[in-house]
Structure 1
């Protein structure tokens, strides 16, 4: 799949997304917008589109980085406890820092996401049997433990409704003034591209990295900081989007190979396109109501995930024979 096809499809779906909604708005209306139509376009539709593109691209890149550093194709922010840790951080900010600004909440979520990811990496170091399926299962169990802790404190402090809003990813509430925090992800993604070659070397192991003069721990820590930072901003703004960081890098590697720096633009484009497609589906299936992005991505992504699992098993059997 060539990059220009992805760009063309992304542009097409982006334009389509601007004109799907309860309020009638057509391309011809752009030449003579009423005050209400202009308000809907610039306060709701455009911010929603921008947040979809940033969330899809950034979470997909985070998944690619984590898979490279852990040398496991089924590790992502969802299967490593990163998103659950970020959600716990947001809950802590609501309990302790009740008047915290969005940036302060994101900082606390970032610290928790970073801590949770570091703990997962430490657990990973101690696992002797590093099977391609076993590792993400450990991550899912770790994430469920963190989620259980968050649920306990949410019930205890009567914040369960607040916490549930971060369990379900949703773009319907995205408006001007509520999504700008996601712009922080753009320079972080650029930083990921700068360190792409180093992430590739680090993914080959600590001994190999040191033999090439690379500071292995520093590079891994930079990768984990990038993942935690982006994940916390997306969870705080949109909520949890399952499977995204897992399936998109795997799809790209199927047709593009495993060259990290070459895969980053494809991963970003395909991730943004996939989330945008799922969002459009969610808006038209039960129109004028809509399904949350976590539901549509979860349903479609789970099917792709099963396919990737079966493909991995068949590949391992053929290699063994």
Structure 2
């Protein structure tokens, strides 16, 4: 009788990780320039700004880390994530287009525009990969970054001609400073995405083995590819609208978890989400403290860390040949 080698979904290490991340989130709630204890409206400010900000940290961190994990499975490439495939840039273009065409659009309507564009952009990237044979896995993120640069240039030109260039820069800053009650609630949609990913985890893991393996096991490869792309698009679009760009988060987290636990999506998903939340919370705390009373965007800190990790991964990959 064979025994399962799948890692446990819950263990003592995960409990410790949850405790550490919870401590970071409590620190986030306690950090800020406004004196919530000594002011009459302190409780109101706490519930209006700090609680929504902390919730947004959790949902955005989990969403982008999960998106990177699913995208790496679908492409069979550890170097891809929304910011290295152009998905984030497409979401930004969708957000900008919605704002220009519908100036009075609500945050929900902007989210729909961002999701639709990110879905189309991700499918363009996937279709390109299916039609072009690439000898090196390193070429894949380079192509994605190039496509993203083209889309970003289009967005910048579009924003320049519509006097929205400054607004575009604010959107892509990747900061939680503007998160407050009434502006973050669409992020709860991420929970639905996470549940769906968990339900489809085993099938997406098989898809990660390739089209031939998935088809031989009786799975509809193209349908699952569309489902995975849709989930990535929703998560990326929602986060882009509320927070902005969180570069390389989906690159760092899945690779760290995979090195320790293997490639099983179902058992890795809690760890990926937890580590994503922890990294975003830690970067946000650093950004709020390092130049207080001002704040440094989370995207700046993540960009530096992610770039270093990306280079290290490339060096390790080339040495392993």
TM-score using structure 1 length: 0.94
1:20 aligns with 2:8: no
2:22 to 11, 15, 39: 11
Q: How far does residue 307 in structure 1 lie from its aligned partner after superposition?
A: 2.2
Bigger Cα displacement from structure 2, 294-303 vs 195-204: 294-303
CA distance in 1, matches of 2:293, 2:105: 35
Deviation by residue 1:4-30 (Cα, 9 ceiling, x = unmatched): 2210110111111111111235xxx5x
The answer for the alignment partner of 2:292 in structure 1 is 287
| Aligned partner of residue 88 in structure 1, secondary structure | helix
Q: How far does residue 173 in structure 1 lie from its aligned partner after superposition?
A: 1.1
The answer for the alignment partner of 1:230 in structure 2 is 235
The answer for the alignment partner of 2:163 in structure 1 is 158
Q: State the number of aligned residues.
A: 310
Change (3 A) 1:225 1:198: same
Q: How far does residue 127 in structure 1 lie from its aligned partner after superposition?
A: 2.0
The answer for the alignment partner of 1:246 in structure 2 is 251
Q: Which runs of 5+ in 2 are unaligned?
A: 1-11
CA distance in 2, matches of 1:24, 1:251: 38
- Map of 1:26-105 to 2, 5 A cutoff? 29=37, 34-105=39-110
1:189 to 194, 209, 225: 194
The answer for the alignment partner of 1:198 in structure 2 is 203
TM-score using structure 2 length: 0.94
1:134 aligns with 2:139: yes
CA RMSD of aligned residues (A): 1.3
The answer for the alignment partner of 2:9 in structure 1 is none
CA distance in 2, matches of 1:37, 1:300: 35
CA distance in 2, matches of 1:218, 1:152: 35
CA distance in 2, matches of 1:18, 1:112: 34
Q: How far does residue 204 in structure 1 lie from its aligned partner after superposition?
A: 1.1
Structure 1 consecutive aligned stretches of length 4 or more whose deviation exceeds 3 Å: none
| Aligned partner of residue 35 in structure 1, secondary structure | coil
The answer for the alignment partner of 1:275 in structure 2 is 280
CA distance in 2, matches of 1:251, 1:10: 16
Change (3 A) 1:130 1:168: farther
8 Å Cα contact 2:107-2:183 kept in structure 1: no
| Aligned partner of residue 287 in structure 1, secondary structure | coil
Q: Which runs of 5+ in 1 are unaligned?
A: none
CA distance in 2, matches of 1:120, 1:146: 12
Q: How far does residue 34 in structure 1 lie from its aligned partner after superposition?
A: 5.0
